[in-house]
A and B are shown apart, each in its own frame.
Chain A
Amino acid sequence: MSEAATNAGTPLVFVEDVHTYYGKSHILHGVTLQVAPGEVVGLLGRNGVGKSTTLKTIMGLVLPSQGRVMLEGTPITGLAPHRLARLGIGYVPEDRRIFRALTVMENLRTGLDRAGVTEEKRKALLEKAFSYFPRLAERRSQAGGTLSGGEQQMLAIARVMMLEPKIILLDEPTEGLMPRMVSQISQIIDVLHKEGVAILLVEQNVPLTLAASQRIYIMEKGVVRHHCAASEIKVDDPLIKQYLGV
């Protein structure tokens, strides 16, 4: 592993030797990774290697049988997902999972109606989201289920922004989107990064991941096989060919 890959100071999220099972299937075989505050980290690998399960384990949606997850140096393994959301972990799942029968505004409210959000902060957060995604402002009274795939992805990201997270776990945000939407998602990752939000990005789109991330982890069969700075690796690198088959 490269020197550039190590970080000074307490990591924002530290996943240490995590083993996770779905029933009897052993999915994660000791995953270790970390994300520094404000850092964008890409998690690459073929389908089914455990990338999404890693995100779900961090979010507390799946309980690891072994190992631990730390947030800013404090163990968070076993905490309920709603507590983790309050502590600053935001999750945008692979299939977006917006609340289809709720309007755009109500979807955003699920992240806004929490302690410590004053009226001004509420306005500021909404204004920010609508400035990044003007389409959502136009459709604020429309049911989430009637939006296009791209708009639903925007809503999923805007919704998680309402939580003012320290880190966003972003699972395949460009899956099934038109190229124009893909570049918009890539822009929004940059904007969030500039605002100091850390992102753990799971993506099949290798060029986008390499461009957006500072560091990358490559997973295979439930473990991290390789770990380096994103600048150290190219799209046509033999490693990418070996582990991703592209």
Chain B
Amino acid sequence: MQPVVQFFQSFPLDLLLIQTVNGIVTGLILALVASGLTLIFGIMDVVNFAHGELFMMGAYLGVVVLATTGNFWLALVIAVLMVAILGAALQILTLRPLIGRDPLNTILATFGISLILQNFALWEFGPVSRKIEEPIGSHFTLFYLQYPWYRIVIAVLSIAIIGGFWVFLKFSKFGVWIRATTQDRVMAEAMGIPVGWVYTGVFALGAAMAAASGVLFGPLGSINHTMGLDWVLKAFIVVVVGGMGNLGGSVAAAIFISLLEAYASVWVSPSQAVIVSFVVLILTLLFRPTGLFVATPK
């Protein structure tokens, strides 16, 4: 009995609480990235390999607009709008002509877009990482740590964006169109829903969500042309674990995996803690291949 008590007494409770907050904050940014990815997959059956680069473009545009205007929130709005337009253009030019073709074609197309955007960023902004200044500099005390308010603001904003998106899907005309198209593309078309434009709109929305998370994440890390890779990899894990095309599942999986990683990094280095998400992915694929939050078909 004594060793068990000792083990629990040695538990760094303060550290665990800090890591809980960290995990939730990171999880919510990841949820924002993954929501866009799962939306595009769920509705268009497109596995968007360029999603990380849309995230990166958002962050870079944030840098540019911030440098010009000096206002972070304005940079957030403008970067999101510009990436949404970029997303719509990319969908019309590259994915729309491929509708009805083998899914491999769209995978290759989005992979191509990803390479082009990465190299464009390298060419335009150079290999040196950029940084976005935190728009809110104040901190609060969390145990012995000075915790930045900005992280809490990101968490709240991510919840607001995902919540707003859910309300939009549930109640708006376009939301009903999106849900109808997801369920039966042919019948949606026969009911007068312009399915082609729904696809474009959905891709633009997914791109906008990626860009929003890119700008919001900007002050927490460094901005470079490969920053999207880590995020899109994690977002793919989240989308698979949460159930492909399942928005609620993705949000839950993003928080779940980020929390696990945060807790793991109490004992091991953060770079080793990343292994946790791959373990979760492998276990999910082995035992619940349709995702943790979708009933496995019998």
Contact = CB atoms under 8 A, between A and B. Distances in A.
Interface string A88-113: 00010100010111100010011101
Nearest to B170: A106
A101 B190 contact: no
A113 B177 contact: yes
A89 to B, nearest CB: 9
A163 interface: yes
Interface stretch (B123-131, B180-188, B265-273): B180-188
A127 to B, nearest CB: 20
Interface of A: 59, 61, 80-82, 85-86, 91, 93, 97, 99-102, 106, 109-111, 113-114, 159-160, 163
Contacts of B101: none
A111 B184 CA distance: 14
Interface residues of B, number: 18
A23 to B, nearest CB: 13
B173 interface: yes
Given A97-B184, A99-B184, A100-B183, A81 B189 contact: yes
Interface string B155-192: 00000000000000000010011011001101111111
Given A97-B184, A99-B183, A113 B176 contact: yes
B190 A59 contact: yes
Contact of A111 (B189, B192, B194): B192
B21 interface: no
B179 A106 contact: yes
A119 to B, nearest CB: 14
Given A82-B192, A110-B188, A160-B191, 8 more contacts: A80-B194, A82-B195, A86-B192, A99-B188, A102-B176, A106-B179, A110-B176, A113-B176
B192 A163 contact: yes
B179 A85 contact: no
30 contacts: A59-B190, A61-B190, A81-B189, A82-B190, A82-B191, A82-B193, A82-B194, A85-B189, A85-B190, A91-B190, A93-B187, A97-B186, A99-B179, A99-B180, A99-B187, A100-B183, A102-B179, A102-B180, A106-B176, A106-B179, A110-B180, A110-B188, A110-B191, A111-B191, A111-B192, A113-B173, A159-B191, A160-B191, A163-B191, A163-B192
A100 B187 CA distance: 12
B177 A110 contact: yes
A46 to B, nearest CB: 25
B183 A101 contact: yes
A80 B183 contact: no
Contacts of A102: 176, 179-180, 183
B192 A114 contact: yes
A92 B195 CA distance: 18
Given A99-B179, A106-B176, A110-B176, A81 B190 contact: yes
Contacts of B196: 80
A110 B193 contact: yes
A122 to B, nearest CB: 12
A58 B192 CA distance: 14
Nearest to B182: A101
Contacts of B184: 97, 99
Given A99-B184, A101-B183, A85 B191 contact: yes
Q: Which of A82, A106, A113 has the most CB of B within 10 A?
A: A82
A114 B180 CA distance: 14
B293 to A, nearest CB: 15
- Among all A-B residue pairs, the 10 with the closest Cβ atoms: A85-B192, A113-B173, A97-B187, A81-B189, A110-B191, A91-B190, A99-B183, A82-B194, A99-B180, A82-B189
A27 B195 CA distance: 27
Contacts of A100: 183
Q: Which of B176, B187, B188, B196 has the most CB of A within 10 A?
A: B187
Contacts of A85: 189-192
Contacts of B190: 59, 61, 81-82, 85, 91, 93
B129 to A, nearest CB: 44
Contacts of A113: 173, 176-177
A163 B188 CA distance: 12
A82 B177 CA distance: 12
Contacts of B191: 82, 85, 110-111, 159-160, 163
A110 B190 CA distance: 10
Contacts of A61: 186, 189-190
